[in-house]
A and B are shown apart, each in its own frame.
Chain A
Amino acid sequence: DAMVIQNPRYQVTQFGKPVTLSCSQTLNHNVMYWYQQKSSQAPKLLFHYYDKDFNNEADTPDNFQSRRPNTSFCFLDIRSPGLGDAAMYLCATSRDMRVIDIQYFGAGTRLSVL
């Protein structure tokens, strides 16, 4: 049974048209992460939530926002997608950042920008 679920699996949007990607988890984990992964590259952390505390990476563009309305759900909003934002977006969870812990990844959403 999938524990970290991302929807949709594939998303096509137009240049400049806002898009929202969603992630849900059944693990009741405190931490949720969003990564951007471009072809043949490492996953790059965009931001994470530790419970309700939002932590943005310094090099994450302002174009990317996130919401976590409750423990189970987290959303990635791209306000004005550019061609360079086409990528796989991975959501991951972990129990707690204060201890060494496994990250559980969703299957990802592949975003195409036309």
Chain B
Amino acid sequence: QQPVQSPQAVILREGEDAVINCSSSKALYSVHWYRQKHGEAPVFLMILLKGGEQKGHDKISASFNEKKQQSSLYLTASQLSYSGTYFCGTERERDDKIIFGKGTRLHILP
């Protein structure tokens, strides 16, 4: 069951905030967030485990609401380098494969 990401695309000015959501209709064990720049490999951002945790580093943080089967990625005071496509990947059980959402394209304008 592929997770659903919203919005599909976001255009922001440098310094603005963004929230990207990832939701599933099934119970989740973990949520993984990756960013992919055009023509490059996806790069790991963070993993969140069930239990409703929140993580962050620098100005990028995420939360995982186990009851809602939803994770949100928060980008504060966005920088030009944040541009790219953000994918969430979900696991329903430990040892399960990761299923990725369709991605959210983020474009930061100067």
The 10 closest A-B pairs by CB, nearest first: A105-B41, A42-B100, A102-B44, A107-B41, A105-B42, A42-B102, A43-B100, A97-B95, A106-B41, A45-B97
Interface residues of B (CB under 8 A from A): 2, 30, 32, 34, 39-44, 47, 49, 87, 91, 94-95, 97-103
User: Are A102 and B47 within 8 A (Cβ)?
Assistant: yes
Cα–Cα, bound, A102→B43 (Å): 10
Does A81 belong to the interface (CB within 8 Å)?
no
Pick the contact of A43 from B30, B42, B43, B47 — CB < 8 Å?
B42
Main secondary structure of the interface of A (DSSP, over half): loop
Interface residues of A in 91-114 (CB under 8 A from B): 92, 97-98, 100, 102-108
Q: Give A48's nearest chain B residue, CB to CB.
A: B97
User: Are B101 and A100 within 8 A (Cβ)?
Assistant: no
Cα–Cα, bound, A27→B80 (Å): 30
Interface residue tally of chain A, by bracket? 20 to 34
Pick the contact of A40 from B2, B41, B43, B102 — CB < 8 Å?
B102
Cα–Cα, bound, A107→B91 (Å): 23
Pick the contact of A41 from B47, B99, B102 — CB < 8 Å?
B102
Cα–Cα, bound, A40→B32 (Å): 19
Known A-B contacts A97-B95, A105-B43, A107-B40; A43 and B87 likewise in contact (beta carbons under 8 Å): yes
Task: Give B35 Cβ to nearest chain A Cβ, in Å.
Answer: 11
